[in-house]
């Protein structure tokens, strides 16, 4: 049994989001929620919301208790990049790239493996 949740167009670079997502991959859901609650990164809150959504999907659709689940897959894909311009010296311009991410978390029960 698997349940999935995706947070799309999150305004953080994928490189920064992968640092937090790597902390919870393979852990039990209860342990992952504890880790995210005390992680000192802004994106940890969004990853925790996505994890809680995946757990709620498992509970509502498949009638599975949260303490039986673990984080089977967790990954961050690159979303669209907004391009902005900052004025520089002598009338030139520098490009600013505001990156976004798509966070995907899949939870499953241990018995399937």
pLDDT of residue 104: 97
Tokens of 86: 């900052």
Domain count along the chain: 1
Tokens of 32: 């992952």
Which stretches of the chain drop beneath a pLDDT of 70?
112-113
pLDDT value of residue 110: 85
Mean pLDDT of the chain: 95
Distances 29 to 40, 58, 70, 109 between C-alpha atoms, Å: 19, 12, 5, 10
CATH number of the structural domain spanning residue 38: 3.90.470.10
Range of the domain at 21: 2-112
- Residue 26 phi/psi, 5-degree rounding, is 85, -10
**pLDDT 10s digits, 38-64:** 999 999 999 999 999 999 999 999 999
């Amino acid at each position: 049994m698997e349940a999935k949740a995706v947070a799309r167009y999150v305004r953080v670079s994928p490189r920064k989001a992968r640092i937090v997502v790597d902390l919870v991959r393979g852990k039990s859901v209860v342990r992952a929620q504890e880790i995210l609650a005390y992680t000192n990164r802004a994106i940890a809150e969004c990853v925790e919301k996505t994890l809680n959504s995946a757990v709620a999907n498992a509970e509502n659709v498949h009638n599975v208790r949260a303490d039986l689940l673990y984080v089977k897959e967790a990954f961050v894909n690159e979303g669209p990049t907004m391009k902005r311009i900052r004025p520089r010296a002598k009338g030139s311009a520098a490009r600013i790239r505001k990156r976004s991410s798509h966070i995907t978390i899949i939870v499953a029960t241990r018995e399937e493996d």
